[in-house]
Amino acid sequence: MSTISFIQANLQHSIAASGILTRTVSDEGVDVTLVQEPWYCKDCIRGLTFPGYTLYSAGGKERPRACTLTRNMNAWVLPDFSCRDIVMIQMKYLEDGAERWLVVCSAYLPYDSEDPPPSQEMEELVRYCEKENQRLIVGCNSNAHHTAWGSTNCNRRGESLLEFLSSSNLEILNRGNEPTFCNVIRQEVTDITLGSYGLLENIIRWELSQEPSLSDHRHILFTLRGSVPALLIRNPRDTNWGSFREDLRVTLERGPVLNMEDKARMGLAVQWIQQALVTAYEENCPLRPTKKGRKPLKWTPELASLRREVTQLFNRYQADNKSSSWEL
């Protein structure tokens, strides 16, 4: 079953932690990476640019504290809800054969903020997704403590954040109480993953990576099951050509009168015809998900040995041309 794999990481602006994350993402083929506190140098996020992946951030003059990385996905940033501490991207995916919107967010909730979490930007994006009925996944460095997500205690920031979550359709996806933040002074759960209620059954394998991250924050891994980036196409062979011709005729009859001597009028008529053709085609040739081909064969040492054996037997048959050799 096709899936979307996620990794959530706070890099603490570290070069070494960026290198470890890049290697992990590349080796494991992670689809979506939610990053907080990336390495930033000379007005640019560093260490997260490599072939096949697209980096998303809010831009601006302030040092970014959140960004997102995707692999081979048609996604785009929602600038109205993105800032230095929040990057929100939107993509299409398939759920039980139906196309849906998925919003993915990397969020950093600053510990030195005068106002308790959530930030205004995070609250607005959650309400937007609820209003538009869009599924949401948030990888968040909360800088807040609460036993609801496995912390050893509760503080004012944690209580404020939990109160907000209780009034939304977001659920805490963390499992257990294993610390996500570890240094020589303390160990605590401060990194949380949030998901819309409708995604609960599809989020699987939420876990903390056992590999050293070279950051005080450990990598969080999870998977969105049964969902793939929606790649939809129109097949001309599926077009209802009878209905296409009728829709085209009706549209053209309402079009502007063609005047060969009036260039502006002629240009308007050409645009009308083009739009009429496209609209009639799209309405009578529905979008359908593409079918994935078979995966290529993985060549193994065992297969290589069998291939050599077959080659030797075939050469023997060619040498003596006996039926017994052919049977072998």
Give the highest mean pLDDT range of 71-85, 86-100, 102-116, 264-278.
102-116
Mean per-residue pLDDT of the chain: 84
List CB contacts of 210: < 8 A, sequence separation 6 or more.
Answer: none
Residue 228: predicted pLDDT? 52
From 65-79, 183-197, 293-307, the region with the lowest mean pLDDT: 293-307
pTM exceeds 0.75, yes or no: no
Give the highest mean pLDDT range of 54-63, 208-217, 228-237, 280-289.
208-217
Q: What is the pLDDT of residues 106-137, one digit of tens each?
A: 999 988 888 888 888 888 989 989 888 889 99
Go through 69-78 and write b for each residue having 16 or more CB atoms within 10 A of its CB, e for each that does not: bbbebebebb
Helices and strands per DSSP (H, E), number in the chain: 7, 17
Burial class (CB in 10 A: 0-12, 13-18, 19+), 133: exposed
Superfamily the domain 3-229 falls into: Endonuclease/exonuclease/phosphatase (3.60.10.10)
Q: Work out the average pLDDT over 301-314.
A: 83
pLDDT bracket for residue 41 (50, 70, 90) = confident
* Residue 86 near residue 119, CB atoms below 8 Å: yes
Candidates 190, 202, 159; CA nearest to 8 is 190
Residues of the chain with pLDDT > 70: what percent?
87
Q: Work out the average pLDDT over 181-195.
A: 90
Q: Which helix (H) or strand (E) holds 310?
A: helix 301-320
Residue 164: predicted pLDDT? 92
Domain boundaries, the chain: 3-229, 233-288, 294-328
Concatenate the DSSP letters of all residues of 65-112 into one string: SEEEEEES--EEE-GGG-BTTEEEEEEEEEETTEEEEEEEEEEE--TT
* Residue 73 near residue 229, CB atoms below 8 Å: yes
Cα distance between residue 88 and residue 90, in whole Å: 7
Residue 77: predicted pLDDT? 83
Is 59 or 82 the better-scoring residue by pLDDT? Answer: 82
Concatenate the DSSP letters of all residues of 115-175 into one string: SPSSPHHHHHHHHHHHHHT-EEEEEEE-----GGGT-SS--HHHHHHHHHHHTSSEEE---
